[in-house]
Amino acid sequence: MLKINGERLWASLMAMADERGLHLAITPHWISPATPFDADCVAAVQQTVDALGYAQQSIVSGAGHDAIHLARFCPTAMVFIPCVGGLSHNEAEDVLPEDVRQGTDVLLNAVLARAVIVE
């Protein structure tokens, strides 16, 4: 994973601007802090993945999914599946049927694990 050192990057950009006699100003255009999801929902997803024996990787998504808005009002978690070639959020994105099936298995079983039965 590429990690950018903000101070080093800023110094390099300033040096390039100075060499060219330019003024450089960088201001944030959009800030989207991470949204914490419900610990019990996340645990239900993890327990389901473990029980089904599927490969998994915990990630932090920077995408603005609907779940970040729902998380303000109700318990929320997300299930991602791999994209072919790692290409996502693009019209050329593709997924394999087996990955869709496994993702659906995880979602269904995690929801059932959290379901409240009213008699």
Which has more pLDDT, 17 or 1?
17
Q: Which CATH architecture has domain 33-114?
A: Orthogonal Bundle (1.10)
Mean pLDDT rounded to a whole number for the chain: 88
Alpha carbon distances (Å) from 43 to 3, 38, 47, 106? 28, 9, 6, 12
The closest of 45, 65, 44, 40 to 56, measured between CA atoms, is 45
Q: What is the pTM of this model?
A: 0.71
Which tokens is 116 given?
């409240």
**Domains of the chain by residue range:** 33-114
Q: Does the structure show a pLDDT above 70 at 2?
A: no
- Return the number of other C-beta atoms located less than 10 Å from residue 57's C-beta: 7
Residue that wins the pLDDT comparison between 4 and 34: 34
Summarised one tens digit per residue, pLDDT across range 46-80 is 999 999 999 998 887 766 788 888 998 999 999 99
Distance from C-alpha of 80 to C-alpha of 90, rounded to nearest angstrom: 15
- In the chain, the percentage of residues whose pLDDT exceeds 90 is 56
Question: Above 90 in pLDDT, residue 27?
Answer: no
Q: What is the CA radius of gyration of the chain?
A: 20
